[in-house]
Amino acid sequence: MSLTNYLVYSPEVEEAKKVGTPIVALESTIIAHGMPYPQNIETATKVEEIIREKGAVPATIAIIDGKIKVGLTSDELTLLGRASDVEKVSRRDLSAVLAMKRMGATTVAATMICAELAGIKIFVTGGIGGVHRGGQETMDVSADLQELAKTNVAVVCAGAKSILDIELTLEYLETYGVPVIGYQTDEFPAFYTQSSGFGVDVAAKSAEEIADMLKVKWDLNLSGGMVIGNPVPSGDEMDPILIKGIIDEALEAAKKEKISGKGTTPFLLDRLKNKSNGATLKTNISLVENNARVGADIAVALQNK
């Protein structure tokens, strides 16, 4: 069976591929597991609209009916956003969920894989997975990091949440040769806040500069992706003390309830949302929209190289 048996493009993405319009991939774990209904669908729709306004085409990726859908119809988006039995699909899970025709939401790792299969170079999300706190003992390291090391897709994000060990996450990326670029910042952002206390490799002034770096990287066959950290807009940042307290509490609860494996990240995200009375959601929506603007600009710049 060839790849075309698995990949299904939306009409909009199909057309973009034909005429050469830049395309921006979007993940679906954030829709199915990262945000509550109906804000998940509203945000996904808004993010797609932002990308179109910038002259690119959005391709939200999910697994439905044994196919990798690259670009979702509004019915598919609604299905994914309302269902409660959507699998979280990372690299490991792709084959089973496709073969068994289950519905799956793709993580950063799986979205990168599918984007590469579809020939898409730029991917916008909220935050990447990373090395969990205590990861040096538990070996809980997100498959997102391995994927960034080998798959040729750039990921625009607001950094990594401090539910993770950000320092070890950056060490891991350095070891595996993944460039970590700050978009108009020299600090790696911490998702809910602009600062993590850790630097980036390069502070890029513009989308154009990032597109230049990507072109060189891939021209040289330096395989793997790039992390582009784009800080949450200052007006929508969370209070660092407040978020630290909530994160510490969530980590404590995960330990007490012996949460492990692929359930860890969703457990922590859900806990943060509940404990902050929705404040995290507002910040989350703002930063994803902001990432969509930057990601679309990079996709347009790269297409013109």
55-94 footprint of ligand PSU as x/- string (CB under 6 A):
-----------------------------------x----
Least distance from ligand PSU to the Cβ atom of residue 114, Å: 13
CA-based end-to-end distance of the chain: 34
Q: How far apart are CA 193 and CA 90, in angstroms?
A: 26
Tell me if 142 contacts ligand PSU by CB under 6 A.
yes
78-97 footprint of Mn ion as x/- string (CB under 5 A):
--------------------
The interface with ligand PSU within residues 210-269 (CB under 6 A) comprises 262, 265, 269
- How many residues in the shown chain lie near Mn ion by CB under 5 A? 1
Tell me if 27 contacts ligand PSU by CB under 6 A.
yes
Q: How far apart are CA 209 and CA 64, in angstroms?
A: 37
> Cα angle vertex 93, ends 271, 163, to 5°?
25
Q: 58, 81, 104, 129: which one contacts ligand PSU (CB under 6 A)?
A: 129
138-167 footprint of Mn ion as x/- string (CB under 5 A):
--x---------------------------
| Residues belonging to the active site | 27, 161
Residues of the shown chain interacting with Mn ion in the complex, contacts defined by CB under 5 A: 140
Which residues contribute to the site for ligand PSU (CB under 6 A)?
Answer: 27, 29-30, 34, 90, 107-108, 126-127, 129, 142-144, 161, 191, 262, 265, 269
